[in-house]
């Protein structure tokens, strides 16, 4: 995972109450469990590429009971 993301990775999303939640790359990567499937369904909303940098906006559904979460990475 370290090869897929720059150390400056930051995942941002809005909580249900509208507050901004930020997760830095090391914390995000630390929560990934290799070999453990997590039922998430999502789609890429947009990708912005400038030279060698990029930002992606994704919409993720964690489970059927939750509303979609939009994240920018």
Q: How high is the pLDDT of residue 53?
A: 81
* Domain membership flag for residue 3: no
Tell me the backbone φ, ψ of residue 46, rounded to 5 degrees. Answer: -160, 155
Identify the DSSP state of 65.
Answer: T
Q: How high is the pLDDT of residue 64?
A: 61
DSSP assignment of 22-35: EEEHHHHHHT--TT
* Domain membership flag for residue 1: no
Q: For residue 44, what are its two tokens?
A: 């890429």
Domain ranges, residue 48: 10-72
* Domain membership flag for residue 47: yes
Per-residue pLDDT tens for 30-66? 888 888 887 777 888 889 999 988 888 888 777 665 6
* Domain membership flag for residue 23: yes
* Domain membership flag for residue 56: yes
Strand, helix or coil at 29? helix
Q: How many structural domains compose the chain?
A: 1
Q: Is the pLDDT of residue 73 over 60?
A: no
Per-residue pLDDT tens for 10-36? 888 777 788 888 888 888 788 888 888
CB 21, CB 13: distance < 8 Å: yes
């Amino acid at each position: 995972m370290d090869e897929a993301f720059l150390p400056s990775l930051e995942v941002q999303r809005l909580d249900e109450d509208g507050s901004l939640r930020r997760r830095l790359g090391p914390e995000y990567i630390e929560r990934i469990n290799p070999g453990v499937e997590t039922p998430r369904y999502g789609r890429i909303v947009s990708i912005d590429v400038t030279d060698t940098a990029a930002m992606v906006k994704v919409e993720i559904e964690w489970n059927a009971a939750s509303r979609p979460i939009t994240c920018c990475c």
